Structure 1
Amino acid sequence: MYQVISDQHDYLAVKFTGKVDKEEYQEILANLTSKTETGNQVDLLVDLTELERFTMGALWEDIKFDVKNFKVIRRLAIIGDRNTIKILDPISKPFVTDEAKFFEKSDYKEAQKWVH
């Protein structure tokens, strides 16, 4: 599941919880795509602190989006625990902007300030 925390013209903040499937992930990607159709870049905050797992379908959608659209994300803040950060950091490096940072849950406010 997911919850949109903030949805503005050039900013999207999303919290993922439990299991996230392909269809849910496609909804988020459609939102991002609609924001960038005019050539704008988007600041994105992703909270993974309560995520249990992404389905393989959701992960595949993410990879396809990242390969095509990695330049549309201006700043990316990912909030998670140390294990999440250790897993995602090497996997995401080729696909994310230079303006990407990982934050722990205790640094949530700092992540919000940094990304937007």
Structure 2
Amino acid sequence: MLQILDFTRGNIIATKADGILREEDMERIHPLIHSIIDSGQKVRWYFEMDRFTGWDAEGLWEDLKIDLKHVNDYERIAMVGEKKWQDWMTQLMKPFTSAEIKYFDLTERETAIAWMRK
């Protein structure tokens, strides 16, 4: 499930992933991305992973399509998690976007939010 967090505003999309992400979760983000792009800004995405286990096949495909379509529309991506593979996933994303991407441990949540707003 993907929850939209309360500090989503301006050009910041703040989400919290829990469990498995599905296609409908990813489809909820797409209008937010377009709203920011249409306002002439780049997207800053705060992606918190709490008990996040990955995507189902359709969810992964939808995420990849969104990421490829908007490869140059992101400014910053904060990946906030609790597991080493989530840090590895952050490193894997870097060649596919022009955005600045940083991994933060869940204990650094406030630092990640401040980085989004900077």
TM bin (shorter chain): 0.7 to 0.9
Query: Unaligned stretches of 5+ in structure 1?
Result: none
Q: Deviations over 1:58-80 (max 9, x none)?
A: 11112111122121111110011
1:30 counterpart = 2:31? yes
Q: Report deviation, 1:98.
A: 4.2
Percentage of pairs with the same residue: 24
Q: What is the Cα-based RMSD across aligned positions, in Å?
A: 1.5
Q: Report deviation, 1:90.
A: 4.2
For the residue of structure 2 that corresponds to 1:40, the secondary structure is coil
For the residue of structure 2 that corresponds to 1:93, the secondary structure is helix
1:50 counterpart = 2:51? yes
Which amino acid is 2:70 matched to? N
Question: In 2, distance between residues paired with 1:98 and 1:34?
Answer: 18
If the length of structure 1 is used for normalisation, what is the TM-score? 0.88
Deviates more, 1:98-107 or 1:28-37: 28-37
Question: In 1, distance between residues paired with 2:53 and 2:99?
Answer: 27
For the residue of structure 2 that corresponds to 1:70, the secondary structure is coil
Aligned residue for 1:68? 69
Q: Deviations over 1:82-103 (max 9, x none)?
A: 22112x1343122233411011
Q: Report deviation, 1:27.
A: 0.9
Aligned residues: 115
Superposed structure 1 runs of 4+ greater than 3 Å apart: none
